[in-house]
């Protein structure tokens, strides 16, 4: 609230009379200042109630009119004369000039020091009233934060600031507003936040509206932006309320982010259990919310802090029931595939290479992860579909038929393992993948070469064909490797 000339005339102990310039009674009085200079303007800052006995008033009518006009242009609140000291009355030309430019001219019967003290006392009391108002508003905003979160904070700020409030995301995208709905000034706030320094605050004032825009967060890049719009000029108590609201919003947003991280930690553990075979993949949907298939499986080669990974995931696929977890190969993301790939966006945000693959069922996730990890080594972001040979091979093979083929070829070995043990399948695979080198395969399995030799002999006996037969070798290698050789993702 501002002290106007009209109010100053009615302050306790004041005795003043309006002589001219009635149109300017709404001018704001910031201070009362005594001056007997012929040109006091260089020593004024605007908003002063200038007190004088008229010693500095020019002797000619032209000079007196210019004197009044200079005071008006300088933003003075009013010109008050104490008569019967240097002059008996205020000259007519002074009063006419005051009426022309809307500068109140007063006759004052109160000592100058009493006027100065009264104006200073009013401003001090107003400051106390403002501080009490701010404290009450801050308490109300804090209660709103506890009961209604972000929405409550914005609503309380708009109400107590006498304006409107807008919350922007980290990249200056509108997130929430009070009152709801788009306002013309929102575009100005978005533009200001978009070009502002990472941690800053500023005010846009066009003389009609004042918009304060400030970053949210306590360290690092902004986690959002707060904008508040009021009538110009922006009052000091609005600045204080906006600062408190910014702190509350930052705490709220950081709390929400911490909650999301905790949720992703739990979901990531379940996903890791499914990938490691500890948990059946279909059971994943029974223990947590899972988006409908198909899925885009993205493996980012570099290990990333979970908070950073979650932030990147929320930016490209917010609210999508996606997964993120740390794996030995890097950071794994599993996102719903809704017609566009997000793996490239994730790798760009994280500044790391990655690979992607499609999975049409939850039980295809382990194979998709293996293929994505292999592609991550190529640099940049590469999806399985971007490699033409893989795409052609995937289209040429029917997964169900391939599964039946593998089951038929490996059935004798599996049945023997179930009855007698012996790890025949793992031994045959290691032997073939080692280029039929017995020593290398034995070291890979961690067994003696004679143990491996006995297992291979048992495998030949059970399957009825020697491993030296190229056709038999090819059938077994295909049956063992088909799931890894051909990416999943075809219905």
What's the confidence (pLDDT) of residue 6? 95
Residues 102 and 82: their CA atoms lie apart, in Å, by 20
Structure-block tokens of residue 221: 């890049």
Strand (E) or helix (H) holding 164: strand 164-168
What's the confidence (pLDDT) of residue 220? 76
488 pLDDT higher than 70: no
Q: Residue 405 — pLDDT band, cuts 50, 70, 90?
A: confident
What's the confidence (pLDDT) of residue 389? 63
Crossing angle for the helix pair 399-420 and 424-433, nearest 10 degrees? 120
Strand (E) or helix (H) holding 457: helix 449-463
**pLDDT tens for each residue of 161-183:** 899 999 998 888 899 999 999 99
* Per-chain mean pLDDT for the chain: 87
Identify which of 178-192, 252-266, 327-341, 375-389 has the greatest average pLDDT: 178-192
What's the confidence (pLDDT) of residue 342? 86
What's the confidence (pLDDT) of residue 315? 81
* Domain range list for the chain: 5-110, 137-253, 289-386, 399-485
- Average pLDDT (435-464) is 87
What's the confidence (pLDDT) of residue 235? 85
Taking alpha carbons only, the member of 57, 64, 66, 54 closest to residue 107 is 54
CA 303 and chain centroid, separation: 23
Q: Residue 106 — pLDDT band, cuts 50, 70, 90?
A: very high
Residues 491 and 487: their CA atoms lie apart, in Å, by 12
* Contact status, residue 465 vs residue 374, Cβ threshold 8 Å: no
The correct CATH number of 137-253 out of 1.10.357.10, 1.10.10.10, 3.30.450.30, 3.10.129.10 is 3.30.450.30
What's the confidence (pLDDT) of residue 396? 63
What's the confidence (pLDDT) of residue 97? 95
75 pLDDT higher than 60: yes
Choice among 214-218, 398-402, 473-477 with the minimum mean pLDDT: 398-402
Which SS3 state, helix, strand or coil, does residue 161 take? helix
**pLDDT tens for each residue of 108-142:** 999 999 999 999 999 999 888 888 888 888 898 88
Taking alpha carbons only, the member of 168, 166, 170 closest to residue 157 is 166
- Average pLDDT (428-452) is 87
Strand (E) or helix (H) holding 393: helix 388-396
What's the confidence (pLDDT) of residue 475? 86
Q: Residue 489 — pLDDT band, cuts 50, 70, 90?
A: low
Other Cβ atoms within 10 Å of 115 Cβ, number: 25
What's the confidence (pLDDT) of residue 186? 94
* Contact status, residue 368 vs residue 359, Cβ threshold 8 Å: yes
What's the confidence (pLDDT) of residue 157? 92
Residues 289 and 321: their CA atoms lie apart, in Å, by 6
Q: Residue 418 — pLDDT band, cuts 50, 70, 90?
A: confident
What's the confidence (pLDDT) of residue 199? 76
**CATH code for 5-110?**
3.40.1390.20
**CATH code for 399-485?**
1.10.10.2840
Structure-block tokens of residue 354: 């990655």
What's the confidence (pLDDT) of residue 386? 76
* % pLDDT > 90, the chain: 39
What's the confidence (pLDDT) of residue 390? 56
295 CB burial (10 A radius; 0-12, 13-18, 19+):
buried
481 pLDDT higher than 80: no
Alpha helix ranges (H) inside 20-77 = 61-73
487 pLDDT higher than 70: no
b vs e for 347-374, b when ≥16 Cβ sit within 10 Å of the residue's Cβ? Answer: bebbebbbbbbbbbbbebbbbbbbbbbb
Strand (E) or helix (H) holding 374: helix 365-376
472 pLDDT higher than 90: no
**pLDDT tens for each residue of 332-361:** 999 998 777 888 888 888 888 999 988 888
Which SS3 state, helix, strand or coil, does residue 229 take? strand
CATH fold group of domain 289-386: Alpha-Beta Plaits (3.30.70)
What's the confidence (pLDDT) of residue 195? 86
Q: Residue 184 — pLDDT band, cuts 50, 70, 90?
A: very high
What's the confidence (pLDDT) of residue 490? 52
């Amino acid at each position: 609230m501002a002290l106007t000339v009209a109010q100053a005339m009615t302050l306790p102990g004041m005795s003043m009379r309006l002589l001219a310039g009635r149109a300017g009674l709404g001018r704001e009085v910031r201070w009362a200042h005594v001056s007997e200079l012929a040109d006091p303007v260089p020593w004024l800052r605007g908003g002063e109630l200038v007190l004088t006995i008229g010693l500095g008033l020019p002797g000619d009518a032209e000079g007196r009119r210019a004197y009044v006009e200079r005071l008006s242009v300088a933003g003075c609140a009013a010109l008050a004369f104490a008569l019967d000291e240097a002059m008996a009355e205020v000259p007519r030309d002074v009063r006419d000039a005051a009426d022309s430019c809307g500068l109140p001219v007063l006759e004052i019967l109160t000592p100058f020091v009493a006027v100065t003290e009264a104006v200073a006392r009013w401003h001090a009391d107003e400051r106390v009233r403002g501080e009490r108002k701010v404290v009450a508003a801050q308490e109300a905003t804090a209660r709103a934060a506890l009961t209604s979160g972000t929405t409550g904070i914005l609503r309380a700020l708009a109400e107590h600031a006498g304006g409107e409030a807008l919350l922007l995301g980290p990249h200056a995208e509108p997130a929430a507003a009070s009152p709801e709905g788009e306002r013309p000034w929102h575009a100005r706030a978005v533009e200001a936040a978009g070009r502002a320094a990472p941690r800053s605050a500023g005010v846009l004032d066009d003389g009609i509206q004042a918009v304060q825009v400030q970053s949210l967060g306590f360290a690092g890049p902004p986690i959002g932006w707060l904008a508040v719009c009021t009538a110009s000029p922006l009052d000091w108590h609005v600045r204080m309320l906006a600062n408190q609201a910014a702190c509350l919003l930052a705490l709220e947003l950081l709390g929400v982010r911490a909650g999301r991280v905790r949720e992703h930690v739990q979901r990531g553990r379940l996903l890791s259990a499914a990938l490691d075979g500890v948990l059946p993949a279909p059971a994943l949907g029974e223990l947590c919310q899972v988006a409908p298939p198909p899925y885009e499986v993205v493996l980012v080669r570099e290990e990333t802090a979970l908070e950073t990974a979650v932030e990147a995931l929320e930016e490209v696929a917010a609210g999508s029931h996606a997964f993120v977890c740390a794996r030995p190969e890097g950071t794994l993301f599993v996102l719903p595939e809704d017609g566009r790939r997000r793996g490239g966006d994730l790798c760009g945000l994280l500044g790391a290479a990655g690979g992607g693959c499609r999975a049409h069922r939850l039980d295809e996730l382990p194979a998709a992860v293996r293929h994505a990890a292999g592609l991550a080594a190529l640099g940049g972001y590469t999806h399985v579909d971007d490699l033409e040979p893989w795409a052609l091979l995937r289209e040429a093979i029917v997964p169900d038929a391939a599964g039946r083929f593998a089951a038929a070829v490996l059935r004798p070995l599996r049945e023997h393992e179930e009855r007698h043990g012996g790890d025949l399948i793992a031994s045959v695979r290691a032997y073939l993948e080692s280029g039929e080198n017995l020593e290398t395969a034995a070291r890979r399995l961690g067994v003696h070469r004679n143990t491996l030799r006995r297992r291979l002999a048992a495998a030949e006996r059970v399957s009825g064909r020697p491993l030296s037969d190229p056709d038999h070798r090819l059938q077994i290698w295909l049956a063992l490797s088909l799931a890894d050789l051909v990416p999943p993702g075809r219905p």
